[in-house]
Amino acid sequence: MNNGSIESEFMINMLAYWKEFLWVAAAVLVGLGVHSLAFGIARHVVKRTDSVLGRSILKHSRGPSRLIVPLVIVNPVFELLELPSGTLLFLRQIFSIFLIGAVVWMIIKIVYVFEDVILGQFRSDVVDNLRARRIETQIRILKKVFIIALGILGLASVLMTFDRVRHLGASILTSAGILGIIVGLAAQRSIATLLAGIQIAITQPIRYDDVVIVENEWGRIEEITLTYVVVRIWDLRRLIVPITYFIEKPFENWTRTSAHLLGTVFLHVDYSTPIQAIREELQRIVENSKKWDGRVCGIQVTNATERTIEVRALTSAADSSSAWDLRCEVREKLIRFLQENIPGALPKLRAEIKEQESRGRDSEQEKGNAL
């Protein structure tokens, strides 16, 4: 019997067997009541224990369990229904589709529970959050791979409940060789992208919240998917980069092994500038700054031209944001120090004027003799 005749028979028998459907509706209501009661008790227990696992289970399992519990209670009711075989077959097919969807939904939510429990053991809001970001990157990418695979499996299971699709699948499998070659060529780029996402999850050239320089833009890794990466640039723009970019092209990762960075400030000053005074002033500036991590502070003369000398102030900070702010603070305060205390240190343009003065005096003497 095909699905069209089953559906028409089902609609006709709905009126004739309305009492049977009342049993199904009653079972659904009982299931919803049992679900509400169970979740009320579970909420009270979790509130008293205050566990991460309990809160995560309540958060993620409420939706799928609200569907699974009534389905489980309805299933035995089918044995008590006095319905024609066609109608009963149609109801069981609908039941199977909902049950498959609910189970897949529940398994996906269980993955989210594992994610919450694992990530809850690591703090990413601290300065040294390298390990937390590494674990977060692996968990989230692998979670997306698992969800996609589970979704495909669930869709295949639903389609297999229909006779027509099952026969179509059998006919497709007979020509699997040619179809496999065509699909393989068409999906080559997509498969490469998927493999790149898995490779990033394992090797981790980038992680969530990493500071990177991509396409000459400074930003942080905000999102990693199986096909692209979102970089949040410092001015709050978003740079969308294909995930294969981080496998095939070079880029800068400022937090690959540590968040600590060195910051440099260059000043061009006069040759008469006392370097020791600048060195002492730099030490005083960083010691009074909350952005300095106490590791590196130094002054070096890194270049000398025909007009000025180049002085480099080197400092360290706990992360890139602090390093940037510290560099700006050091630059501003050193310039103010030179302006207020050593104005002669500012760059000068020197010229030799003795020869011009001598020529001027000779000209005046000649004019006097002529008179």
**48-73: pLDDT as tens digits:** 777 778 888 888 888 888 888 888 88
**277, part of any domain:** yes
84: three-class secondary structure by DSSP: coil
187 and 79 fall within a common domain: no
15 and 107 fall within a common domain: yes
Last residue of a domain, one of 257, 274, 301: 257
85 and 48 fall within a common domain: yes
Q: From 55, 156, 176, 142, select the one nearest 101 (Cα to Cα).
A: 156
Residue with tokens 């997306």: 144
Q: What is the band of 210 on the pLDDT scale with cuts at 50, 70, 90? A: confident
153 and 243 fall within a common domain: yes
Last residue of a domain, one of 231, 257, 283: 257
Mean pLDDT of the chain: 79
Say what the pLDDT of residue 240 is.
93
**197, part of any domain:** yes
Spatial separation of the C-alpha atoms in residues 136 and 118, rounded to whole Å: 9
The lowest-confidence range among 65-79, 82-96, 206-220, 297-311 is 82-96
Q: What is the band of 134 on the pLDDT scale with cuts at 50, 70, 90? A: confident
Q: Is 60 exposed, middle or buried (0-12, 13-18, 19+ CB in 10 A)?
A: buried
269 and 283 fall within a common domain: yes
251 and 320 fall within a common domain: no
12 and 34 fall within a common domain: yes
Q: Give the residue with greater pLDDT, 159 vs 288.
A: 288
Q: What is the band of 172 on the pLDDT scale with cuts at 50, 70, 90? A: very low
CATH of the domain at 195: 2.30.30.60
Say what the pLDDT of residue 187 is.
53
Say what the pLDDT of residue 20 is.
65
* Domain encompassing residue 17: 3-121
| Parallel, antiparallel or unpaired: strands 211-214 and 309-317 | unpaired
148 and 245 fall within a common domain: yes
**157, part of any domain:** yes
CA angle (102 as vertex; 99, 108 as ends), nearest 5? 140
Do 310 and 339 meet the contact criterion of CB atoms below 8 Å apart? no
CA dihedral over 58, 64, 66, 70, signed as positive or negative: negative
Last residue of a domain, one of 121, 148, 167: 121
* Cα separations in angstroms, 218 against 50, 235, 254, 328: 40, 9, 10, 16
**352, part of any domain:** no
Q: What is the band of 169 on the pLDDT scale with cuts at 50, 70, 90? A: very low
**97, part of any domain:** yes
**117, part of any domain:** yes
CATH of the domain at 330: 3.30.70.100
108 and 68 fall within a common domain: yes
**330, part of any domain:** yes
**127, part of any domain:** no
234 and 327 fall within a common domain: no
44 and 11 fall within a common domain: yes
The count of structural domains within the chain is 3
86: three-class secondary structure by DSSP: helix
The lowest-confidence range among 99-113, 142-156, 279-293 is 142-156
Work out the percent of the chain whose per-residue pLDDT is above 90: 22
37 and 89 fall within a common domain: yes
Say what the pLDDT of residue 354 is.
60
pLDDT for residue 265 is more than 90 = yes
